[in-house]
Structure 1
Amino acid sequence: MDAPLASLRRAVFRLAEQGAALSALYHRARLLGCEHLPLKGPVLLVGNHGVWGYETPAFFHLIHQGTGRYPLGLTERGFFRIPLIRTVLPWLGGVEGTRENAMTALRAGSLVVCYPGGAWETFKHSHGRYRLRWEQSLGFARLAARAGVPVVPFAGQGVDDTFRWPPGEERLRVRLTNDDKYRMPLVMGMGPLPWPVRLTFHLGTPHAPPPPDASESRLRAFRDTVAASVRGLLTRHSHA
């Protein structure tokens, strides 16, 4: 990487860090259960995504504060088809969500964050608040089995309350691509800012990965167990 581009990358990263810190301060964000994250070595965090994915910078900021580690986020592949975004996202810790990229990150000992709901949860309807949209995805279960890494479930409270859906929300959705999951909702904040709700992220007890040769049924059972852990964290701490 040449010097001007490296300088630009560092400047963008510093600006993003400042923005994430301000977002965490604005939302009085907190991270509970940080003792479940190792201070070194690979681990896969799996949990729910908020509307527009707005909460992610604050979450990553808290993880870095609590562990000294910069997490990497597996990002919906569709976003890497947008020229500017596919350039900047890797500068900010976003990795295109392929199995190969994820394996490379875990083999390097990284702390990797995965949102199995992807765009389905990011661009949700109002009635989809705090509902997991993991569909039939086995990606993270296969990844954990193949890499042999623990999975730490997490749940974000407040992440679907930072914006609100206006009346007639279905008519106000913008289709970004032909894929139905990329229908972006138009939501409202408090004037130019998101609503100042508190963001709380709960980390659960790690799950040991399935064996590398796990059957489809065992992978499905593992996925459902992790999903149940996330739902349990959401329910248990819904009034925290």
Structure 2
Amino acid sequence: MDMLTNSIKGFEDVIVDYIDVDFTLWLSWLLMPLLITFLLPVFILILLYVSALIFYIYKLHRVRLREAYGKDWKIAARNVVAAIWDVHGYILHGYEVVGMEKIPMDEPVLFIYYHGAVPIDLYYFVSKMVLVNSKIVHSVVDRFLLKVPGFSIICHVMKLIPGTIQTCSSILKDGNMLAISPGGVYEAQFGDSYYQLLWKNRLGFAKVAVDAKVKIVPLFTQNLREAFRTVSWGRRFWLRIYAATKFPFAPIYGGFPVKLKTYVGDPISFDDSLTPEEVKDKVALALEELINKYQKKPGSITRALLERIYDPSSSSSYDKTK
């Protein structure tokens, strides 16, 4: 009887040990895609903090670095950070800009772009402008970004502002370039793979263009919604939260290495006969034409991943993407 009892106990121990191990492995394999999907956006946050760290390094050691580079510390730091983002975009997304030659580099320009769940394409585009054309593009961001610990120096060096009509117009009148997404955080949080413009009745950017009398250049990045997405469940709940707080609480997932390609539209010249409402409609039409021409709808993560692997229209080398 003791032998039988010991045999049964030994058999139970073996079963429990192997079942526990196998169950743990199975559970880890089951949850791994979920963990990867929701944790990848954290890497973007880490890269932003790395950018802040570099800016602080240059700020604290600007005297020595200025002697080394012969430039203002912000210019030197901006170029280093731009290089990091440019390489990141090339490696992860094969990022390209098509139509850069359309941008008038010798005059102020207002860029109007579609806002993805994460505006990572703007980071890449601004970086290319810094590296290739030695131009810094001022960008309008939501005020909450200024309150994120460690981000104030990024906003300061990279010229990110929670712009009013007056400040944006002043920036352009001073001869600078400025990027605005009329949809803003609302479009980022509640847009989907059909890429509709969610501008509501926002006319601020049009009033800025009319007041500053500048050209408007539309920008659209193919597959942007396939790189990062917001969750589709609980939309009404997240809408209520956003309406009450104006803060982007809807969870973001993704970080998929899809092909990203920014298309530069034809510049829209200033026309003093147009009202802000007419300017808004004209720019929206131009941006929608870019979206309809270059984006297959609804967007597909699988298709965008395949385009990352093989895209015959892409440049064949890193240097050509610049």
- The TM-score by the shorter chain falls in which range? 0.7 to 0.9
Assess, with a 3 A threshold, how the Cα gap between structure 1 residues 166 and 96 changes in structure 2: closer, same or farther.
closer
% of aligned pairs identical?
Answer: 21
Assess, with a 3 A threshold, how the Cα gap between structure 1 residues 165 and 45 changes in structure 2: closer, same or farther.
closer
Deviations 1:158-199 (A, max 9, x none): 21111245573549959987645423332323xxxx101111
SS of 1:137's equivalent? coil
Contact 1:144–1:210 (8 Å) recurs in 2: no
Contact 1:31–1:63 (8 Å) recurs in 2: no
2:81 to 10, 13, 16: 16
SS of 2:202's equivalent? coil
SS of 1:131's equivalent? coil
**What's the counterpart of residue 204 of structure 1?**
265
Contact 2:79–2:130 (8 Å) recurs in 1: no
- Alpha-carbon distance in structure 2 between the residues aligned to 1:167 and 1:231: 23
SS of 2:118's equivalent? helix
The alpha carbon displacement at 1:53 in A equals 1.9
**What's the counterpart of residue 206 of structure 2?**
141
**What's the counterpart of residue 44 of structure 1?**
110
Assess, with a 3 A threshold, how the Cα gap between structure 1 residues 167 and 75 changes in structure 2: closer, same or farther.
closer
Contact 1:202–1:233 (8 Å) recurs in 2: yes
- Alpha-carbon distance in structure 1 between the residues aligned to 2:257 and 2:125: 15
The alpha carbon displacement at 1:78 in A equals 3.5
Q: CA RMSD in A?
A: 3.0
SS of 1:101's equivalent? helix
**Unaligned ranges ≥5, structure 1:** none
Deviations 1:103-128 (A, max 9, x none): 2321221111111111112222546x
- The structure with higher relative contact order (CA 8 Å, sep 6+) is 1
1:220 paired with 2:281, answer no
1:69 to 131, 135, 150: 135
The alpha carbon displacement at 1:13 in A equals 3.6
5 Å-filtered alignment, 1:91-130, equals 91-126=157-192, 129-130=194-195
**What's the counterpart of residue 186 of structure 1?**
251
Structure showing greater Rg: 2
If the length of structure 1 is used for normalisation, what is the TM-score? 0.81
Contact 2:116–2:191 (8 Å) recurs in 1: no
Deviations 1:68-107 (A, max 9, x none): 3121111123333445433431212312222232123212
If the length of structure 2 is used for normalisation, what is the TM-score? 0.62
1:234 paired with 2:291, answer yes
Contact 2:102–2:265 (8 Å) recurs in 1: yes
Contact 1:36–1:203 (8 Å) recurs in 2: yes
1:57 paired with 2:118, answer no
Tell me the matched-pair count. 229
Contact 1:153–1:203 (8 Å) recurs in 2: yes
1:131 paired with 2:200, answer no
Q: Which amino acid aligns with 2:295?
A: S
Assess, with a 3 A threshold, how the Cα gap between structure 1 residues 178 and 233 changes in structure 2: closer, same or farther.
closer
Contact 1:172–1:186 (8 Å) recurs in 2: no
Larger helix share, 1 or 2 = 2
Contact 1:163–1:187 (8 Å) recurs in 2: yes
SS of 2:262's equivalent? strand
- Alpha-carbon distance in structure 2 between the residues aligned to 1:125 and 1:152: 22
Contact 1:123–1:181 (8 Å) recurs in 2: no
- Alpha-carbon distance in structure 2 between the residues aligned to 1:20 and 1:176: 32
